[in-house]
Amino acid sequence: MMPARTRLVCLLLTLALLVPLSALPGAASPAASAAPAVSAHSAVLLDADSGTVLYAKDADTRHPMASTTKIMTALTALETAGADTVIRVAPEAVGVEGSSIYLTEGEELTLEQLLYALLLESANDAAVAIACGVAGSVEAFAGLMNQKAAELGLRDTQFQNPHGLDAQGHYTTAHELALITRAALENDLFLRMVSTRKTTIPHAGREGVRLLVNHNKLLRLYEDAIGVKTGYTKKSGRCLVSAAERDGVRLIAVTLNAADDWNDHMALLDYGFSLRESVTLCEPDGICLMVPVVGGVGEAVFVGNPQGLSCSLPREHPEITRTVELPRFLYAPVTDGETVGQVLFRCDLDGDGRAEIIGRTPLAVQCGVERAEPDKGFFAWLRALFGL
């Protein structure tokens, strides 16, 4: 039998989950900055956590995107082949115009090494080497890139090559390029690469190594920057995708054809951080509930949240409510760690009276219960009769 004190504690915790969750106490939120004026023809600022657009300027118009193409090149390659895959440089990858690390035919590098060259030095020869090594040809790899774009639900993005040199039918929009970047940043290796300022890779057939230096100056200019990619052709103008993270909030900024892209991005990121904050919805193991068990050696089990949860919200957000979804009872056996329910967190962000789900966390059994063996026969009847 569970002690009365324990049952009372769990009852109080259960009731606490049925009332609104107020904003956490803390210092007053800083005033939001004014929306910046940017030099770019197209621009967007995205909250990477929720996908919310915080700023847009002609964000849905198709434009060439130069070497920011390589964000999708890297994402496609990482989802198609292992980072340790050894790639033999094809003849098509030798002497590609534009940025290069001067690959030689037949030299061998891992996909990871070529991706560092692609993302830091913006090497077009590395892009072709990756495409041929992963898919057999530039055309086949571009097909994989377009397939990934379709999986992401993009309608105004199309790729003809893996490097971003000007080509008919090679385009995206500021908004869709931000969505590509959002997906790429979920890959830990991609994030590690685009946040690297410099590294080295082998120089096949020669002594020494190739030094790779990241072209993204925001890694030095902006304290919270974590990536991601520059680009330029005469047709596209200066293109830049950046990401930054501060106090649990991650932002993605994109500018296409910008005369002053570095300053555009710093202004956009400052603006975004003035609008958003990271809110802790629950701490790990911060929820404790009790669920009755039928047919078990124990009467009930404790359930809780093994993981914490936070999300990015407007600094002046409405109250957050949370709802428990749990069965009224469980049937034994119940195993340790078994997910039996969830807690949903909601907030009326649109102000229309309909709170949307902003997060959810599973509820798992903390200590399992075995099935009780039923008593059988005459002796079981006697034990029951005399209370034994």
Active site residues: 67, 70, 122
CA distance 346 to 354: 9
CA distance 100 to 124: 6
Q: Give the containing element (helix H, strand E) for 275.
A: helix 261-275
Other Cβ atoms within 10 Å of 262 Cβ, number: 18
CA distance 280 to 278: 7
Helix ranges (H only) for 92-226 are 111-120, 124-135, 138-151, 174-184, 188-194, 218-221
Cβ atoms of 176 and 87 closer than 8 Å: no
CA distance 121 to 100: 7
Could you tell me whether strands 288-294 and 330-331 are parallel, antiparallel, or unpaired per DSSP bridges?
A: parallel
Cα separations (Å) of 310 from 178, 300, 335, 345? Answer: 22, 29, 27, 10
Q: Euclidean distance between the first and final Cα of the chain, in Å?
A: 17
Query: Which residues are paired to 100 by β-bridges?
Result: none
